Amino acid sequence: DYDDFDIANEDDLLEEFWAFPEKCRLILRLRLEPAKRIPQSFRGGGRGTKTK
């Protein structure tokens, strides 16, 4: 039932929705960039680490 749904709130939600992918990309970029600079051996046994 959407009869009691706040219209002003809906606009805020739509704004958030459209901004969301951009935020995700930014967060992912911030999280992935430092990981690229860290040598594989320090990453905790991920793909491509040597165990010998």
C-alpha–C-alpha distance, residues 10 and 20, integer Å = 15
**Under 8 Å CB-to-CB from 51, ≥6 apart: which residues?**
45
For the stretch 13-28, pLDDT in tens is 777 667 777 777 777 7
Higher pLDDT among residues 41 and 26, named by residue: 26
pTM above 0.75, yes or no: no
Tokens of 27: 């967060």
Specify the pLDDT at position 42.
Answer: 56
C-alpha–C-alpha distance, residues 42 and 14, integer Å = 41
Higher pLDDT among residues 47 and 21, named by residue: 21
C-alpha–C-alpha distance, residues 33 and 22, integer Å = 16
C-alpha–C-alpha distance, residues 38 and 33, integer Å = 9
